[in-house]
Structure 1
């Protein structure tokens, strides 16, 4: 469903370093270990855990981490995954405010990796956690297959009869974000099919009106998902031969984060 993006790891790393420049060491932390406190006697910034592993591709987790670090109310970040010091367990999730599932890879292969963790993630969100899903992470928030965190499901936007993008290749897409047209990096991202009586907030829509970014309650927790990639930096565009002009909008990703976590 989603082609693997050949992302230049060097470009992604450069973008990560650029995104953390000027931040305190605690904010810039993106290793697998839990970040340190800001200073003696000062409480730490809230922790966001970002998945990194075979259900993502290099560059995507790092870009999501940068987005969280540079949000108006920033997070310290740590990676979780099978080859990271931190694993996806309830005890680890309970140390965090946010769990973020980045993009990259195919839904079927990603689900085979993530299915063993589905109940842990679902129960944590239900108890008050915040889930953020970007592209593939948005698909995984759905039900067929996925964590079943949404008031509805997901589907492949490019299959819509009125889709403005019909290719699985990396490209640009224009959506309406809070009613204003914005262009973003896109690669076979989901649309969100919401139940008729849903109470979710639709932050963005595709040209045909299909939800492209959604924030919804899940029991005591919250879920924020997006089909395009507001976390994409210029390196993503260069790696895929796509123009970044007027298409880099981290502020939209920050809007998704802020709306999900703080309402």
Structure 2
């Protein structure tokens, strides 16, 4: 399960995501400083998403994908296993749809609160579910990221271990990390993992800054648990 004692990172790939999403998350994890052994997990992968497979992992990543409720129907059978994995000390990393699934209505209920659509929030700067670029304040620096109907995170700002990593221009939370049991959860509404192909495929002008460094910061935020 592990490669030369490297920590195992599992990336979901299946019908609850879209082509390219899992691969971009896997590439981000391979670029991180954590020297992960990155494997795909899912119904048609060599590794199934089971309690035993999760037990050998340091991190589980849920990529972006389609719409929430169809994805939840496919992911609901893994609900308890994923919650138990994180509560026991594992890490959950969610991008866009994976961020929504970290919430509760519906989702894995891993957050000290819930999620909602940014495009429906008050004073949102984006109003369409079509792919676009959104501005966020990421670690107090303005960044421009690929975005497609991503989440806001409505959480208890005094929750244990909460780290608000990024906000949208209207002040809503765009990315966070927080404790869950003995583990940790990080979730993001936009797509810091997006490479140039994402922008080309959506016929979007790519921002001058490559935001994958922000994605690496998100990985660090979920892996490092600060003692209270």
* Interval of TM-score (by shorter of Structure 1 and Structure 2): over 0.9
Instruction: Give the one of 146, 167, 172 matched to 1:185.
Output: 146
| Offset from partner CA, 1:10-43 (integer Å, 9 cap, x none) | xxxxxxxxxxxxxxxxxxxxxxxx4643xxxxxx
Displacement of 1:67 in angstroms is 0.3
Contact 2:137-2:169 at 8 Å conserved across structures: yes
Contact 2:93-2:187 at 8 Å conserved across structures: yes
Instruction: Give the one of 108, 115, 123 matched to 1:154.
Output: 115
Give runs of aligned pairs for residues 122-133 of structure 1, distance below 5 A.
122-133=83-94
Contact 2:145-2:207 at 8 Å conserved across structures: no
Within 2, Cα distance between the matches of 1:242 and 1:76?
33
| Offset from partner CA, 1:56-108 (integer Å, 9 cap, x none) | 00100000000000012231200000111111111100111000000011101
Contact 1:184-1:230 at 8 Å conserved across structures: yes
Q: Are residues 1:66 and 2:27 paired?
A: yes
Q: 1:132 to 1:155 in 2, by over 3 A?
A: same
- TM-score between both structures, scaled by the size of structure 2: 0.95
Displacement of 1:202 in angstroms is 0.3
Instruction: Give the one of 103, 110, 114 matched to 2:64.
Output: 103
Within 2, Cα distance between the matches of 1:239 and 1:62?
15
Contact 1:212-1:228 at 8 Å conserved across structures: yes
Structure 2 match to 1:78: 39
Q: Are residues 1:202 and 2:167 paired?
A: no
Give runs of aligned pairs for residues 1-263 of structure 1, distance below 5 A.
34=1, 36-37=3-4, 44-195=5-156, 197-199=158-160, 200-263=162-225
Give the superposed CA RMSD.
1.1
Displacement of 1:45 in angstroms is 1.8
Within 1, Cα distance between the matches of 2:210 and 2:172?
22
Which stretch of the first structure deviates more once superposed, 109-118 or 194-203? 194-203
- TM-score between both structures, scaled by the size of structure 1: 0.83
Number of equivalences:
224
| Offset from partner CA, 1:192-232 (integer Å, 9 cap, x none) | 00125423110000001100001000010100000000110
Structure 2 residue matching 1:114: 3-state secondary structure: helix
Structure 1 residue matching 2:56: 3-state secondary structure: coil
> Any gaps of 5 or more consecutive residues in structure 1?
1-33, 38-43
Displacement of 1:248 in angstroms is 2.5
Structure 2 residue matching 1:259: 3-state secondary structure: helix
Within 2, Cα distance between the matches of 1:64 and 1:169?
21
Within 2, Cα distance between the matches of 1:241 and 1:229?
16
Within 1, Cα distance between the matches of 2:154 and 2:50?
29
Displacement of 1:246 in angstroms is 1.9
Structure 2 residue matching 1:173: 3-state secondary structure: strand
